[in-house]
Amino acid sequence: MVAALELYLDPDATRRIRVLWDALEAEGVQSMRSLLEQRHRPHVSLAVAPRFDPEQVAAALRGTVVAAPLRLDFQHAGQFVGRVLWLGPTVTPELLAHHRLVHDRLAAAGITLVEHYQPGRWVPHCTLSMRVPNALMAAAVRRCLEVLPVAATVVGAALTDHARGIAHPLP
């Protein structure tokens, strides 16, 4: 398991993504709803690491509004290697600048992040399923296209490590 710095979405966008999770489950695709005893919340991860020390992260980000009220317009579905299905927001200069600010503050504090979450490599996304069976991918993507676009605003942030039971809210 990994730790993540998660950006949470407004209630309407969260509801729409949870409805999509249900639609994927109805197609036979295990969605994020099924994971972690249904404690998973729709989000976009800004940073991921094998482990985070909550106090070290809080100190590194002191004075930074991690939950900046960014507008996220989810316009497309995507797939990572390993059959991970996700919704992607349109990348904006504001989103990239916010990501770089958070990353730079963490890096300056000596906090090492997973390479794929570093500026220039990061693909902002909201994960829908960690393993879509190949035979169900077309149906899963069709379900995604039925709900797009999804407009969202960031309304919260937290440092999470579900394996260790950590959910530390951030400003």
H, E, C per residue of 10-57: CHHHHHHHHHHHHHHHHCCCCCHHHHHHHCCCCEEEEEEECCCCHHHH
In a domain, 168, yes or no: no
In a domain, 52, yes or no: yes
pLDDT tens for 18-71 read 999 999 999 999 999 887 656 789 999 999 999 899 899 999 999 999 999 999
Q: Give me the number of domains the chain comprises.
A: 1
Domain that holds residue 94: 1-160
pTM of the model: 0.94
